[in-house]
């Protein structure tokens, strides 16, 4: 199975900050990389697919980049509603489509 590793596991930030989260794959996943946001006690929400395509309705302050094995999620101008845990997921080749362990964005 392809292993996904996120860094950092948590970070502290303030409203208005630019936040970057990294996701690395143990082998290439091309651009087949998704990002999800999960708030406490709630189901995840798809933010980005194909490494950089925003899902409908997702604010433009979220952006994704990368290909192959190295990907980033950037939040430009952190908003109060963005404090949550973010997960990457690869959907390259056949399942299992594995997730990263998550990055928790907390209030500084």
- Interacting residues with other proteins (CB under 8 A): 31-32, 34, 36, 42-46, 49-50, 53, 55, 87, 89, 91-92, 94-102
- The residue among 65 and 101 lying less far from other proteins, judged by its C-beta, is 101
- The residue among 36 and 82 lying less far from other proteins, judged by its C-beta, is 36
- The residue among 12 and 53 lying less far from other proteins, judged by its C-beta, is 53
Burial tier of 47 (Cβ tally within 10 Å: 0-12, 13-18, 19+): buried
| In the complex, least distance from residue 44 CB atom to other proteins, rounded to whole angstroms | 6
| In the complex, least distance from residue 101 CB atom to other proteins, rounded to whole angstroms | 5
| In the complex, least distance from residue 69 CB atom to other proteins, rounded to whole angstroms | 16
Structural tokens at position 35: 């990002």
Around 77, how many Cα atoms within 13 Å sit in the side-chain half-sphere? 3
- 8 A C-beta contact, residue 74 and residue 52: no
Closest CA to 73 of 96, 57, 85: 85
- The residue among 19 and 32 lying less far from other proteins, judged by its C-beta, is 32
- 8 A C-beta contact, residue 23 and residue 6: yes
């Amino acid at each position: 199975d392809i292993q996904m590793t996120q860094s950092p596991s948590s970070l502290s930030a303030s409203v208005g900050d630019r936040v970057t989260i990294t996701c690395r794959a143990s082998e290439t996943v091309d651009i087949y990389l998704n990002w999800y946001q999960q708030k406490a006690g709630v189901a995840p929400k798809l933010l980005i697919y194909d490494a950089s395509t925003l899902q409908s309705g997702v604010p433009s302050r979220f952006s994704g980049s990368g290909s192959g094995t190295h990907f980033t999620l950037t939040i430009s101008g952190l908003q109060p509603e963005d404090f949550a845990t973010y997960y990457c997921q690869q959907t390259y080749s056949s399942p299992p489509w594995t997730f990263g362990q998550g990055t928790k964005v907390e209030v500084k």
